[in-house]
C-alpha cells in the first residue's frame, strides 16, 4: 500500500494524542495535555495521567477524524504506542486502539515510542534519510541511535546512565523556582542569560569516561554542580545559571551525536524528542552540523513533544514496508527499549 491512511494513538505519559497521516502527509494532530493537573506536584502523577487519558480519548479521536476530513471506516490501519511509558497510561491507549481495530477489522500496530519520535521526521518529506544517527532527547530518554531503517532496524549506540536530559531540566527548574515542566521555563529564562558565565561540568566527556561510555550520557554530576553553585552563591544571577546549565547539556548532546555520525559515516542527524524543541539545542545543532558537513533533520517544534502524528508516521512506514501488524491482545511494556520496534 503506497499511501495508507493511518490513525495513531499516543498515551505514554501526560498527553492524550491522536494523529492521522496519509502516507507521509499529516492530516490531523490533536493533543489533550494533563500537564496542568500535574504541575502542583512538580512532576507527572501516573494515576492522574491515566484518568486524564480515559476522559479525553473519545473526544480527541473525534476531533482528529473531523480535522482530517475522513471517517473511521476510511482508516487502513491503526497504530498505538505500546512502550516504553507509564504502564497505566499505555494500557488506556492500547485498549482504545485494540477496540477500534477489532470493531473495524483493520490491522493494528503496537509500536515503540522512541522510534516514533524519529519517524515523525518523515512527514512531509520524500527524502530517504537512512542510514542516519538519531539524537533522541526527551523527559525520559536521552539516546544516540543508529538508524538503518526506521521501520525495522534502529540500534542503540548510547543512552543515559542516570537522569535523562528532560529530567535534569525539570530538577534544575525546581532549584531555580521555575514552573513545571522545566524545559520550556529554563529555555525562556536562559535567553536573558550568559551561556558562558559559569563553567558547569560536561559529564562522561573525559578520556577515561569515553573508553566505557563513548556515546552515553550522565547529568547527575551537572545537577549536583548547579545545586552547589546556587547554595554557595546567594546572589547568583538566575538567568546566567539557566543559560550555563542549558549550554552544558546542549554541548554534551551535540558533541557525542556528531562524533557518532562521523564515526559511522552517516551523513544525516535526526534530532527528535521533547527537548529537541529547546531553542538553544536547535540553534547549536544547525551550526555544529553545518561545520561538520552533516545534514540536520529536525521536526517542527510542535512535533517534537509526544504526539499522535509520530505514531501514525511510524505505522505508515511499517505498512508501506509490508510488515504485518501486531496480534490481538498484545500487551504494553513500560520499560521496553528499542529491542522491540513492533509488538509481536
Mean pLDDT to the nearest integer, 274-301: 95
52: pLDDT strictly greater than 80: yes
Q: What is the mean pLDDT of residues 78-102?
A: 97
Model confidence at 67: pLDDT above 90: yes
What are the distances in angstroms from CA 79 to CA 41, 180, 209, 308, 315? 31, 30, 39, 9, 6
Sheet holding 268-272, edge to edge: 153-159, 142-149, 132-137, 268-272, 295-297
What is the spatial order of strands in the sheet that 25-33 belongs to? 25-33, 15-22, 5-10, 77-83, 108-112
pLDDT for the residue numbered 129: 63
β 142-149/268-272 pair status: unpaired
Smallest Cα–Cα separation from 154: which of 143, 165, 166, 164?
143
Q: Give mean pLDDT, residues 229-242.
A: 97
Give mean pLDDT, residues 86-108.
97
Q: What's the whole-model pTM score?
A: 0.94
The pairing of strands 132-137 and 142-149 is antiparallel
pLDDT tens string 154-188: 999 999 999 889 999 999 999 999 998 999 999 99
* Domains of the chain as residue ranges with CATH: 5-122+304-320 (3.30.420.40), 132-298 (3.30.420.40)
**Average pLDDT score over the chain:** 94
Q: What confidence tier does 195 reach under pLDDT thresholds 50, 70, 90?
A: very high
Amino acid at each position: 500500500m503506497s499511501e495508507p491512511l493511518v490513525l495513531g494513538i499516543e498515551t505514554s505519559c501526560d498527553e492524550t494524542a491522536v494523529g492521522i497521516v496519509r502516507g507521509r502527509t499529516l492530516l490531523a494532530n490533536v493533543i489533550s495535555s494533563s500537564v496542568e493537573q500535574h504541575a502542583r506536584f512538580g512532576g507527572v502523577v501516573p494515576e492522574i495521567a491515566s484518568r486524564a487519558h480515559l476522559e479525553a480519548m473519545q473526544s480527541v479521536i473525534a476531533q482528529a477524524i473531523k480535522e482530517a476530513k475522513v471517517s473511521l471506516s476510511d482508516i487502513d490501519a491503526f497504530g498505538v504506542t505500546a512502550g516504553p511509558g507509564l504502564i497505566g497510561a499505555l494500557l488506556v491507549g492500547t485498549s482504545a486502539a485494540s477496540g477500534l481495530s477489532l470493531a473495524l477489522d483493520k490491522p493494528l500496530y503496537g509500536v515503540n515510542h522512541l522510534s516514533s519520535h524519529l519517524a515523525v521526521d518523515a512527514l512531509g518529506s520524500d527524502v530517504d534519510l537512512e542510514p542516519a544517527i538519531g539524537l533522541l532527547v526527551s523527559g525520559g530518554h536521552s539516546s544516540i541511535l543508529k538508524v538503518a531503517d526506521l521501520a525495522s532496524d534502529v540500534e542503540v549506540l548510547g543512552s543515559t546512565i542516570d537522569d535523562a536530559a528532560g529530567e535534569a531540566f525539570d530538577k534544575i527548574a525546581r532549584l531555580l523556582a521555575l514552573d513545571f515542566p522545566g524545559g520550556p521555563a529554563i529555555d525562556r529564562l536562559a535567553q536573558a542569560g550568559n551561556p558562558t558565565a559559569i563553567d558547569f561540568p560536561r559529564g562522561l566527556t573525559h578520556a577515561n569516561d569515553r573508553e566505557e561510555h563513548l556515546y552515553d550520557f550522565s547529568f547527575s554530576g551537572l545537577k549536583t554542580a548547579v545545586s552547589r553553585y546556587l547554595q554557595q552563591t546567594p546572589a547568583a544571577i538566575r538567568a546566567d545559571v539557566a543559560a550555563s546549565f542549558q549550554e552544558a547539556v546542549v554541548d554534551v548532546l551535540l558533541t557525542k551525536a556528531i562524533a557518532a555520525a562521523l564515526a559511522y559515516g552517516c551523513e544525516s542527524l535526526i534530532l527528535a524528542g521533547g527537548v529537541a524543541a529547546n531553542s538553544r539545542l536547535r540553534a547549536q545543532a544547525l551550526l555544529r552540523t553545518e561545520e561538520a558537513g552533516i545534514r540536520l533533520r529536525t521536526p517542527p517544534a510542535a512535533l517534537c513533544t509526544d504526539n499522535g502524528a509520530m505514531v501514525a508516521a511510524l505505522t505508515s512506514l511499517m505498512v508501506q514496508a509490508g510488515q504485518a501488524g501486531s496480534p490481538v491482545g498484545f500487551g504494553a511494556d513500560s520499560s521496553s527499549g528499542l529491542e522491540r520496534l513492533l509488538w509481536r
